[in-house]
Amino acid sequence: MTVDVALRSLSGIVPKCLQLVLFIAVASLMEAEPLRSTELSDFIRVGRDFRAEPRWTPRTGKADVQIRGSEIEIRAHYRTDDEQTPPEAVDQPDVAITGTLGANGSVNAKCTFLNTDAIPVQLTGRYITRTETQIWGDRRKSVTYKEVVFPRPPNADFWGFVGRHVADQ
C-alpha cells in the first residue's frame, strides 16, 4: 500500500518536471533578442552642415548603444532645432553604426545615414568605461559611464556617445 501511495504522489510531480525540462529546452533553442538599455545614451555629432551655407554645427540626440561580445551596434536619433518631437519618440533612427570592438577598446565601424542616399563612412574610435562615486543628497551612488568616441578625421564628423548606469553603494 505504501508503494501505491508513493507512486500516486509522484504522478503529479513527474509531468511538472517534464514540462519544465521541455520549456528550458525550447527556450535555449530560441535566439533571444539582446536586452535593451532602459536609458538611452546621449550623443553629439559635430559636422558639416549644408542647410544654409557650409559650416560646422553640433547636433545632439539620443542613441541606443548595444554591445554583444565584440560586436557594437548604435542606433541614433537626432532632430533639428525647429522639430518638437523628442528623438526617443521616433521609431526609425537617423543613423546606424555597426562594427567590432577590439580587446584594447578600439572600435572599427561603418556609419550609415538611414533614409538618405549618402554613402556609408568608415569610423575608428574608442570604447571607454569609468566609474565614479557620487553623493546624491544623503546617498552614495556608484555611477558607471560608458563612452564611445569617434574623433574627427580630416573633413569628416566627430561622434560622441555617453551612457551611464547608477547603482546604490
Report pLDDT for 27: 42
Residues with Cβ within 8 Å of residue 92, at least 6 apart in sequence: 114, 115
Strands, DSSP E only, in the chain?
41-49, 55-68, 71-78, 95-101, 106-113, 121-136, 139-150, 158-168
Chunked into runs of 10 residues, the chain (169 residues) has average pLDDT values of: 49 50 42 48 78 74 90 84 54 89 93 87 91 91 92 73 88
Report pLDDT for 3: 46
Report pLDDT for 39: 66
Report pLDDT for 104: 93
Report pLDDT for 24: 47
Q: How far apart are CA 90 and CA 42, in angstroms?
A: 15
Report pLDDT for 33: 40
Long-range contacts of 119-125 (CB under 8 A, 24+ apart): 121/156, 123/97, 123/99, 123/150, 123/159, 124/150, 124/153, 125/149, 125/150, 125/151, 125/159
Could you give the dihedral angle defined by the CA atoms of residues 50, 53, 59 and 63, in that order, rounded to the nearest 10 degrees? 0
Prediction pTM value: 0.66
Report pLDDT for 92: 79
Third-level CATH fold of 41-168: Porin (2.40.160)
52 φ/ψ angles, rounded to the nearest 5 degrees: -115, -90
Q: How far apart are CA 66 and CA 35, in angstroms?
A: 8
Report pLDDT for 107: 94
